[in-house]
Structure 1
């Protein structure tokens, strides 16, 4: 189901053209990554999606009741704790105090907010303020979730948690769109990638399929240093690697040469 659609959208500020003839549709269940250089117009597209900006030409249609947005810079509240801020935001969005409090603590626990939920907002680092920003966007299940560089400033553990949260949100029927510079994050999260160059949508591609390789360790290997490995998932029996299909043979060969035992190999995402 189409959740948001930009039809031949252009955006100007005075004589400066930011976007030109952008046509983009995001459907329920999709995770769409917008990539491109700084100043290419990615953030402007996100603001148009959620209604924070209006097109100079063209149209934007949203079929979403609950819309959540995480900006690239989060203006945190000086006087409130993280928990109090999220409880307040939950009430604004129609949740009961108890439900808002429980959901806030659940999200902050998953994101591992340093200092805990009662930490005053003014004392939060940039990375921890970002965790609160992400939590406020997910207090209610959104139908459209839009995030501008949401991984910026997050620690490694929160990187993984955020990817899980976005995947879960899409699986529950939301359309998710985000900007990101890291190719590894894009490959491991997005189901579709849109490239914007000089204000124009120049590429619209589906993600290549990924192959999941589960193995029992042999000689020590730091798989995170291998460029073809998108994700490393340690577990009790060993490790599971996510590798782009078509480039997984080299990973398997490396594993076998170092005495690793391969238990399963399966494709997990189709074109």
Structure 2
């Protein structure tokens, strides 16, 4: 039974959940995905589009791979042609285009997992929950999933994942938590503000311009010595941040991009929510 879970899930954030087998990692992910409901406490700030990849994909369904993805796309509100186009695109990205017309029960475990992962990206989710989603994928598909996760985070989504490989997305997570004693703690040695390299960007906007809202990676910002602003962000979000500044209306001028000095922050008290400021405390068996 999980108790005292207190967690914020801000946008533009990649969060890793760790813990020994049987500690409740999958239970927590199912709560966040809205599949299970807490027996006590509450979860607030549900995202309009949430996607979930379970630890075990139920492949014995009466669909072909493409038919299943199109069906889920329709459930997410996509028109059939758009759902079919996205289904084909994601199957191709994960190396499963040749199995589009194969019935799900006839797929290998690895190809089934590719379909499971593809369905999670169909509707461009705002909250993406991945429970051992890399398991069973070949190297190329695992690398593609890494890229797809980075794209969703850069686009403003929150991604929460569990994976048995400690090297998975190493250095790119914005927060790492560990389940111990039925509760959630900041992982030892992993500050809640992120563990990877950081990039410093100095930029200047037109006179009187304000920074665009919702910048990727929620960068720290301070005034630059010669005017403008100095932004510091996790390296995983730096490209998306630069694109946002350069394509703003009017665009910002980028003066300098450099690696920021390493820093460590002490983890503060953890809160629980799917949006900043919410404080649910889910409890489940």
Q: Decide whether aligned partners of structure 1 residues 167 and 268 sit closer, same or farther in structure 2, where only a CA change above 3 A counts.
A: farther
Per-residue CA deviation, residues 62-89 of structure 1 (Å, 9 max, x unaligned), is 3411111111111124432111111111
Alignment of 1:69 with 2:52, yes or no, is: yes
Distance 1:47 1:157, change over 3 A: same
- Residue in structure 1 matched with residue 121 of structure 2 by the alignment: 138
1:3-43, Cα deviation, whole Å (9 max, x unpaired): xxxxxxxxxxxxxxx21211111111101010111111111
Map 1:107-256 onto structure 2 (within 5 A).
107-113=90-96, 115-204=98-187, 205=191, 206-210=193-197
Contact 2:70 2:80 in 1 (8 A): yes
Change (3 A) 1:134 1:167: same
Kindly state the Cα deviation for residue 50 of structure 1 after the two structures are TM-superposed: 1.8
3-state SS of paired residue (1:94) = coil
Higher relative contact order (CA 8 A, sep 6+): 2
Q: What is the rounded CA distance, in whole Å, between the counterparts of 1:133 and 1:156 in structure 2?
A: 16
Within 1, Cα distance between the matches of 2:3 and 2:61?
39
Change (3 A) 1:161 1:60: same
Question: Which secondary structure does the structure 1 equivalent of 2:179 belong to?
Answer: strand
Q: Does 1:97 align with 2:80?
A: yes
* Between 23-32 and 198-207, the greater mean CA deviation after superposition: 198-207
Listed one character per residue, the Cα deviations across residues 129-157 of structure 1 (whole Å, up to 9, x for unaligned) are 11111111111111111111111111111
Instruction: State the alpha-carbon separation in 2 of the partners of residues 54 and 200 from structure 1.
Output: 17
Quote the offset at 1:99 in angstroms.
Answer: 0.4
Q: What CA RMSD, in Å, does the superposition of the two structures yield over aligned residues? A: 2.4
- CA distance in 2: counterparts of 1:118 and 1:151, whole angstroms: 23
Alignment of 1:49-88 (within 5 A): 49-88=32-71
Q: Which secondary structure does the structure 1 equivalent of 2:7 belong to?
A: strand
Match of 1:37 in 2: 20
- Runs of at least 5 residues in structure 2 that lack an aligned partner in the other structure: 200-234, 236-257, 265-285
**Distance in 2 between the 1:127 and 1:190 partners?**
25
Q: Confirm or deny that 1:26 pairs with 2:26.
A: no
Give the Cα–Cα distance (whole angstroms) in 2 for the partners of residues 19 and 160 of structure 1: 32
Alignment coverage as a number of residue pairs:
203
SS of residue paired to 2:26: helix
TM-score by length of 1: 0.69
CA contact (8 A) 2:110 2:137 kept: yes
Using the size of structure 2 for normalisation, the TM-score is 0.66
Partners of 1:39 and 1:267 lie apart in 2 by 39
Rounded Cα–Cα distance in structure 2 between residues aligned with 1:270 and 1:91 = 46
The whole-number CA distance in structure 2 between the counterparts of 1:23 and 1:53 is 17
The offset of 1:48, in angstroms, is 1.1
For 2:183 and 2:133, locate their aligned partners in 1 and report how far apart those are by CA, in whole Å: 23
